[in-house]
Amino acid sequence: MRTGPEMHALVERLYPFCRSITGDGVRQTLAVIGEHLPLDRYEVPSGTEVLDWTVPPEWNIRDAFVADSSGRRVIDFRKSNLHVVGYSVPVDRVVRLSELRAHLHTLPEQPSLIPYRTSYYSPTWGFCLAQDVLDTLPDGDYHVKIDSTLADGHLTYAEHVVPGEVGDEVLVSCHLCHPSLANDNLAGIAVAVALAQALAEEKPYYTYRFLFMPGTIGAITWLARNFERIDQVKHGVVLACAGDRGSLTYKRSRRGDADIDRVFAHILKDKPHEIRDFSPYGYDERQFCSPGFNLGVGSLTRTPYAGYPEYHTSADNPSFVDPDSMADTLETLRTAFSVLDRNRRYVNLSPYGEPQLGKRGLYDSLGGRSDAKEAQLAMLWVLSLSDGDHSLLDIAERADLPFGAVAAAADALQAAGLLKG
């Protein structure tokens, strides 16, 4: 699975599952991901203390509806799993519409859409529906039923590891706790799966650890369970909203100048994009960047969190997700990680005066190349700044040259015996 249409097909397959922060919908989703990647799956019992949080009871739902006096379902979970407020407690009774209204959620400003709502940590129940439908409901009695369970169970998450030359790690994290929302969260999952497949063929320098887990509580649980090895995490990206037609947006880590922040600033400069400073609001970058961890983890989206009208509504469906946009997100990540993997520091082995490149065949190798001037300039910059303190990314930034040209120059100079890695 590598192309935009193939990633889109995965989004469509996962779309019907009723996911939440726990439960069988998460397991169904991981089972499908496991058809594409080998996964290590973890089940963390309800009641487990994780940092300042506690793993909640497991929530599962079989059916839910609101029926009028004739028995007709006016709200039907079987038609859209967004119709039920996530983590709703079970209910089965008849109520007047006036009482029911307190448990109904709509979007008056988007009257044809169903909103997405949850209540993870405050036991209640509720339904979501289009305002247009609510406006048609006459006064009277309604049969309300939510066939759900909240009981001791587990929080489920999974990891996939692409081994590298070194044990230092790059995290790629996706949340999988939303029900039928295609851009937020399924597009990110599909891109992550394709990225892991691509990296496995490239034999990367770093080890890449892919995390598929529920938002907030999942990241907190992972951090709590990996506290002793967190120093291995050198870089990371939280991936979400990866398939809409907006331009790319990168949100810096809390550090603001981590290598991953600089890499994305460098590779995005020649295409439409936005770079935002860190804020403690959004996706799980806020957990990885919390002060005690302060990891170099940024966030990549297309249109950012809550930034498009379809966000957290029934309009965030597979037709909203664009295969070409997912392909662009995938290629951007591959480019970023190729820079990250290739970024090294070198020492010039002939630092007294400029070494003669011609007698080593380095100028001849540029003959006829359309980018000969850029390549020659890159060699000179690499020689000038390879003092053991400057990385190739430092050099590319200072010289205002593409990273690829600088890396190619370093390869040529090393092969000629002029650089030591």
Residues 223-277 have pLDDT tens digits of: 999 999 999 999 999 999 999 999 999 999 999 999 999 999 999 999 999 999 9
Mapped onto helix, strand or coil, the DSSP state of residue 34 is coil
Annotated binding site: 178, 184, 312
DSSP string over 65-114: EEE-TTS-EEEETTT-GGGB-BTPPPEEEEEEHHHHGGGEE--TTSTTS-
Q: CA–CA distance from 23 to each of 18, 152, 224 (Å)?
A: 9, 11, 20
288-318: string of b/e by CB count within 10 Å (b at 16+)? bbbeeeebbbbbbbbbbbeebebbbbbbbbb
As a whole number, mean pLDDT of residues 331-341 equals 97
8 A C-beta contact, residue 347 and residue 384: no
8 A C-beta contact, residue 73 and residue 137: no
Please give the pLDDT value at position 361: 81
Mapped onto helix, strand or coil, the DSSP state of residue 165 is coil
Please give the pLDDT value at position 1: 61
* Share of residues in the chain with pLDDT > 90 (%): 93
Check whether 367 has a pLDDT greater than 80.
Answer: no
C-alpha–C-alpha distance, residues 62 and 77, integer Å? 9
Backbone angles phi, psi at 202, to 5 degrees: -100, -5
Annotated binding site for Zn(2+): 178, 184, 312
What CATH superfamily is the domain 59-151?
Domain of unknown function DUF2172 (3.50.30.90)
Task: Indicate left, alpha or beta for 340 from its phi (over 0: left) and psi (-120 to 50: alpha).
Answer: alpha
Query: Of residues 85 and 371, which shows the higher confidence score?
Result: 85
C-alpha–C-alpha distance, residues 92 and 113, integer Å? 26
Check whether 14 has a pLDDT greater than 60.
Answer: yes
Top-level class of domain 345-420: mainly alpha
C-alpha–C-alpha distance, residues 347 and 407, integer Å? 14
8 A C-beta contact, residue 308 and residue 244: yes
Please give the pLDDT value at position 370: 58
DSSP string over 235-271: EEEEE-S-SSSSPEEEE--SSSS-HHHHHHHHHHTTS
Check whether 365 has a pLDDT greater than 70.
Answer: no
C-alpha–C-alpha distance, residues 95 and 409, integer Å? 74
What are 156-209's pLDDT values in tens digits? Answer: 999 999 999 999 999 999 999 999 999 999 999 999 999 999 999 998 999 999
Domain boundaries, the chain: 4-56+154-342, 59-151, 345-420
Q: Which residues contact 250 (CB under 8 A, 6 or more apart)?
A: 261, 264, 265, 268, 273, 274, 275, 276, 298, 299, 300
Mapped onto helix, strand or coil, the DSSP state of residue 194 is helix
Residues in the chain: 421
Q: Which residues contact 226 (CB under 8 A, 6 or more apart)?
A: none
Amino acid at position 353, single letter: G
Please give the pLDDT value at position 371: 67
Nearest one of 240, 158, 243, 187 to 15, comparing CA atoms: 187
Please give the pLDDT value at position 369: 57
* Share of residues in the chain with pLDDT > 70 (%): 98
Rounded to the nearest 10 degrees, what angle do helices 372-385 and 403-415 cross at?
70
Provide the pairing of β-strand 297-301 with 387-391: unpaired
Q: Which residues contact 113 (CB under 8 A, 6 or more apart)?
A: 107, 130, 313, 314, 315
Check whether 132 has a pLDDT greater than 90.
Answer: yes
Q: Which CATH number fits domain 4-56+154-342: 2.30.140.10, 1.10.10.10, 3.30.420.40, 3.40.630.10?
A: 3.40.630.10
Q: Are 4-56+154-342 and 345-420 in the same CATH fold?
A: no
8 A C-beta contact, residue 58 and residue 150: yes
What are 376-420's pLDDT values in tens digits? Answer: 899 999 999 999 999 999 999 999 999 999 999 999 999 999 999
Check whether 118 has a pLDDT greater than 60.
Answer: yes
Please give the pLDDT value at position 349: 95
- List, in sequence order, the alpha helices (H) in 145-245: 188-202, 217-225
Please give the pLDDT value at position 86: 98
pLDDT band at 65 (very low <50, low <70, confident <90, very high): very high
Helices then strands, each counted (H, E), the chain: 12, 19
C-alpha–C-alpha distance, residues 348 and 380, integer Å? 11
Please give the pLDDT value at position 364: 61
Task: Indicate left, alpha or beta for 270 from its phi (over 0: left) and psi (-120 to 50: alpha).
Answer: alpha
198-237: string of b/e by CB count within 10 Å (b at 16+)? bbbeeebbbbbbbbbbbbbbbbbbbbbeeeeeeeebbbbb
As a whole number, mean pLDDT of residues 355-375 equals 73
What is the pTM assigned to this prediction? 0.95
Please give the pLDDT value at position 360: 85
Please give the pLDDT value at position 375: 87
